[in-house]
C-alpha cells in the first residue's frame, strides 16, 4: 500500500482556516506574522529594546562629540556686551565671563527690591526647612505610635477590670 500526499502552490496567501461569524479567514501570512510578533515582543527576548538602547547611546556619544568643540569655541569666543538697544558697552569679554557674571548676580541678588533674601539664602532655607519637616514628621509619628500602644494597653486593662466587676470577680 502506497500513500501519496501532494501539496502544490502553497504561498503566504494560502488559506489555513475559513472564517466564520467570530473569526476572520486566516492565511499562512497571518500565522507567520503573529508568531514573529510574539517572538519579537516577548519579555525574555527584548532584541529591539537592547538595539534601541544601544542606538541611543551611540547617538548621544556622537552628539556630545560634535557639540563639545562647538561649545568650547563659543564659550571662549569674544563678545561685546550691549545695552538694550544693541549698542556696544564696555570691552570685549568671553561668553564664559558673561555666564559667570550672570551666575554671580543671580546668587547674590536680593528679592523684593533689595530688601529680601538672596537666591542662595532662599535655597538653603528651603532645604533646611524641608529636612526639618521630614525629621519632625518622623519623630512625631514615632511618638504617636508609642501613645497609641500605651492607650491600647491601658484600655485593655480598663476593659478587663470592668468585665471582672460585671461578672462579679
Rg over alpha carbons for the chain, rounded to the nearest Å, is: 38
Q: Looking at 20-74, which runs of residues are DSSP E strands?
A: 26-27
Nearest to 15 by CA among 5, 24, 2: 24
**What does the alpha-carbon distance between residue 47 and residue 61 come to, in Å, rounded to a whole number?**
21
Q: Are 93 and 79 in contact (CB under 8 A)?
A: yes
Q: What angle do CA 39, 45, 51 make, to 5 degrees?
A: 105
**Residues 47 and 31 sit within 8 Å (Cβ to Cβ):** no
Taking only the tens place, the pLDDT of each residue in 99-158 is 998 888 888 887 766 667 888 888 888 999 999 999 999 999 999 999 998 888 888 888
State the first-to-last Cα distance of the chain, in angstroms, to the nearest integer: 99
- In 3D space, the residue among 7, 6, 45, 14 whose CA is nearest the CA of residue 31 turns out to be 14
pLDDT tens for each residue of 40-98: 766 666 667 778 888 999 999 999 999 999 999 998 999 888 889 989 888 899 999 98
In eight-state DSSP terms, residue 27 is E
Query: In the block, which residue shows the cell 502553497?
Result: 10
Amino acid at each position: 500500500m502506497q500513500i501519496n500526499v501532494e501539496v502544490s502552490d502553497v504561498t503566504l496567501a494560502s488559506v489555513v482556516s475559513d472564517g466564520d461569524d467570530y473569526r476572520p479567514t486566516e492565511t499562512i501570512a497571518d500565522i507567520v506574522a503573529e508568531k514573529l510578533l510574539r517572538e519579537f515582543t516577548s519579555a525574555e527576548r527584548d532584541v529591539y529594546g537592547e538595539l534601541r538602547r544601544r542606538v541611543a547611546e551611540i547617538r548621544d556619544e556622537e552628539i556630545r562629540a560634535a557639540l563639545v568643540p562647538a561649545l568650547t569655541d563659543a564659550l571662549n569666543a569674544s563678545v561685546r556686551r550691549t545695552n538694550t538697544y544693541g549698542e556696544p558697552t564696555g570691552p570685549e569679554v568671553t561668553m564664559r565671563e558673561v555666564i559667570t557674571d550672570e551666575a554671580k548676580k543671580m546668587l547674590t541678588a536680593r528679592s523684593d527690591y533689595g530688601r529680601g533674601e538672596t537666591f542662595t539664602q532662599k535655597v538653603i532655607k528651603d532645604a533646611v526647612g524641608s529636612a526639618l519637616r521630614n525629621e519632625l514628621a518622623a519623630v512625631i509619628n514615632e511618638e504617636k505610635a508609642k501613645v497609641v500602644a500605651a492607650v491600647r494597653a491601658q484600655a485593655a486593662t480598663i476593659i478587663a477590670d470592668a468585665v471582672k466587676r460585671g461578672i462579679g470577680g
